[in-house]
């Protein structure tokens, strides 16, 4: 795949809005990804920054999806941050020139999670009370993601600060699950919880034990029966001849 990266002027200028300052410091092409490095100075109290990456392939219309790193919402100020875009995955077979553009805006987050912390373990099929600090009084969508895949969700929920989340019983056990709360009217305003793990309600080992016991008893019964049958077939000791 041939790729020529061009840099629009806005990528090298500081982005200043509501007191925050973001400066793109470098853009590199490595194998099948583009890496955008930047510095983000201190944000106003109570505000967070949401960043999105755009490209010239669609004339900077829609934000890119195959991105990772310091991008999205709930970003903190700091230096040497980076965004990685897998352009080969998002646009397979594309060759030619690509310009990239970073766009950001400061906002008061729709919610701040209170009781969903990194490393928590939830069991599928169970109910969990989710608490957060509302950023407004609008309605929100509450969804569950594993990685970038949406696995369940509900729309138009009152942003009251609490919600009874029932995990679907057929969720795939694994890591990298997150809860997403977004403004129902403005879906670009969203927050993610820390990552958690989903496990089975009943471990597989526990489910397998009764089967194993039945299997063992069945083998014992077969062996016992066979042994009994064999012993019954053993001829007895011949009797002594009778006296005259």
Reported as a single tens digit per residue, the pLDDT across 118-169 is 889 999 999 999 999 998 889 999 999 999 899 999 999 999 999 999 999 9
Neighbours of 107 (CB within 10 A): 18
Q: Which of 171 and 219 is assigned the larger pLDDT? A: 171
Whether 174 shows a pLDDT value over 50: the answer reads: yes
- pLDDT mean over 17-46: 80
CA-atom Rg of the chain in angstroms? 31
- pLDDT mean over 89-94: 91
pLDDT for position 241:
53
Which CATH code fits 3-107?
A: 2.60.40
* In the chain, where the domains are located: 3-107, 111-199
Count of helix runs (H) and strand runs (E) in the chain:
2, 18
Whether 230 shows a pLDDT value over 90: the answer reads: no
Q: Which of 30 and 220 is assigned the larger pLDDT? A: 30
- pLDDT mean over 2-9: 50
Q: Do domains 3-107 and 111-199 have the same CATH topology?
A: yes
Q: Which fold has domain 111-199?
A: Immunoglobulin-like (2.60.40)
pLDDT for position 23:
84
Residue 217, CB-side half-sphere exposure with 13 Å CA sphere: 6
pLDDT for position 208:
57
């Amino acid at each position: 795949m041939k790729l020529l990266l061009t840099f629009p002027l806005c990528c090298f200028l500081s982005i200043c809005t509501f007191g925050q300052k973001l400066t793109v410091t470098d853009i590199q092409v490595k194998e099948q990804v583009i890496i955008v490095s930047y510095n983000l100075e201190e944000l106003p109290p109570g505000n967070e920054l949401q960043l999105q990456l755009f490209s010239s392939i669609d004339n900077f219309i829609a934000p890119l999806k195959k991105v990772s790193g310091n991008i999205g919402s709930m970003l903190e100020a700091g230096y040497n941050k980076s965004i990685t875009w897998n352009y080969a995955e998002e646009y397979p077979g594309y060759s030619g020139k690509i310009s990239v553009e970073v766009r950001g805006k400061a906002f008061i987050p729709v919610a701040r999670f209170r009781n969903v912390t990194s490393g928590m373990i939830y069991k599928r099929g169970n109910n969990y009370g989710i608490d957060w600090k509302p950023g407004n009084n609008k309605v929100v969508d509450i969804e569950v993601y594993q990685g970038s895949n949406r696995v369940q969700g509900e729309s138009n929920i009152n942003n009251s600060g609490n919600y009874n989340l029932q995990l679907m019983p057929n969720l795939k056990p694994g890591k990298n699950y997150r809860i997403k709360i977004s403004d129902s009217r403005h879906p670009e305003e969203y927050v993610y919880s820390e990552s958690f793990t989903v496990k089975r309600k009943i471990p597989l080992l526990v489910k397998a034990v009764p089967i194993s016991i039945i299997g063992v008893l069945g083998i014992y019964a077969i062996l016992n029966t066979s042994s009994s049958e064999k012993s019954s077939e053993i001829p007895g000791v011949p009797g002594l001849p009778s006296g005259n």
